[in-house]
Structure 1
């Protein structure tokens, strides 16, 4: 059941709106929707505009935050986040440390899987945005710290870095990991990837780098072919302690 102030996705009439269930109105080209009527509804219910146009009520999932949450920059795409989760084996018993929270899209995915997530974001203005996105996602097991990852202490099952990475970050991550735990890094350029791999070699028992490529399929009346969009997104390096 949807509570007051909860985020909701409205879908219909070839439109989607990412809204909040509260005492306001949403004006669309299909009519006005009283958002207060969302309170008490369930995912799958139908709400109507004043012109009697239907919209399906959907409780957002992490992928919807990738599409609609307020951004501070380009977040990791869902497939790349999935690679981190898959290759680290992230699960409900894990305590995860990450740095470079950004818009908190990856954080929201991690928070829906892990027992706890601690996230460092150096830029205070970004930290404020990601805290709001996490609050909207209803996650109580995520802590956002406006600070440098090098200040982090404790032991973690997984450390994930999506930031400008230097050798000292890799060394510090190693000191924070439990035996058998994983460091994952997301880097856009080979030079930065090599920095991670060089720092990790000899320190971690396993160091494996993956290039991330995805191709959508475009289907039209003329035929079917791969999309012409850029398919490369970055590199993920997985290191096991």
Structure 2
């Protein structure tokens, strides 16, 4: 059941809106929605605008936060986050260290899977946005810390880095990991990727680098073909202690 201040996705004909249940009104091109009507309803229920147009209620998932949450920069793409989860075997028993929180999109995905997540963001103004996004996602197992991740002294099953990486970050990740644990480092440029690989090979038992590529299909009346949009997004190096 939806409670006051819950984040909700309202879906109409060719329109979606990311709103907060509670006081106030929300104006659309189909009329005005009373947000108080959301409280007490469930996923799949409908509310109508003052003009009678219906909107169906959906409970947001991490994919919706990628699309609609407030951003502090460009987040990792879902396909890249999925590779981190898949190649580290992230599960409900894991403690995860995440660095370079950004908009907290990766932390929100991880928080829905892992036992707990500690995520570090250097800039306080970004960290405040992260905390709000995580709170909107209804996650109480994700902690946002402000400062340099090199200050972290905990022990973790998985370390994930999405930041301007240095050899010190790789050494620190190794020290934070349990035996058998994984480091997954996302890097946008080959130069940063080489930093990860060259440092990790002297520490970890396994080091594998993946170029992340994905391409959608475009289907029209003329036919179907791969999208012409750029399919490369970066590199993920997965290292096992």
Residues 57-115 of structure 1 deviation map (CA, whole Å, 9 limit, x = unaligned): 00000100000000000001111000000000000000000100000000000000000
What secondary structure does 1:132 align onto?
Answer: helix
What secondary structure does 2:32 align onto?
Answer: strand
Structure 2 residue aligned with 1:125: 125
Distance in 2 separating the partners of 1:113 and 1:145: 20
TM-aligned CA deviation for residue 154 of structure 1: 1.6
Distance in 2 separating the partners of 1:91 and 1:82: 13
What secondary structure does 1:192 align onto?
Answer: helix
Structure 2 residue aligned with 1:201: 201
- Runs (4 or more) in structure 1 with deviation over 4 Å come to none
1:146-157 matches, within 5 Å, as: 146-157=146-157
Structure 2 residue aligned with 1:213: 213
Structure 2 residue aligned with 1:112: 112
Work out whether 1:77 is the aligned partner of 2:60: no
Structure 1 residue aligned with 2:55: 55
Unaligned runs of 5+ in 1: none
What secondary structure does 2:33 align onto?
Answer: strand
What secondary structure does 1:106 align onto?
Answer: helix
Distance in 2 separating the partners of 1:126 and 1:196: 25
Q: Give the structure-1-normalised TM-score.
A: 0.99
Structure 2 residue aligned with 1:229: 229
Work out whether 1:165 is the aligned partner of 2:165: yes
TM-aligned CA deviation for residue 13 of structure 1: 1.6
Work out whether 1:28 is the aligned partner of 2:25: no
Distance in 2 separating the partners of 1:117 and 1:144: 9
What secondary structure does 1:234 align onto?
Answer: strand
Distance in 2 separating the partners of 1:173 and 1:212: 22
Residues 143-189 of structure 1 deviation map (CA, whole Å, 9 limit, x = unaligned): 00001010000210000000000000000000000000000000000
Work out whether 1:9 is the aligned partner of 2:1: no
Distance in 2 separating the partners of 1:199 and 1:150: 16
TM-aligned CA deviation for residue 22 of structure 1: 1.1
Distance in 1 separating the partners of 2:233 and 2:177: 27
Tell me the C-alpha RMSD between the 2 structures. Answer: 0.5
Distance in 2 separating the partners of 1:108 and 1:40: 25
Unaligned runs of 5+ in 2: none
Distance in 1 separating the partners of 2:206 and 2:168: 19
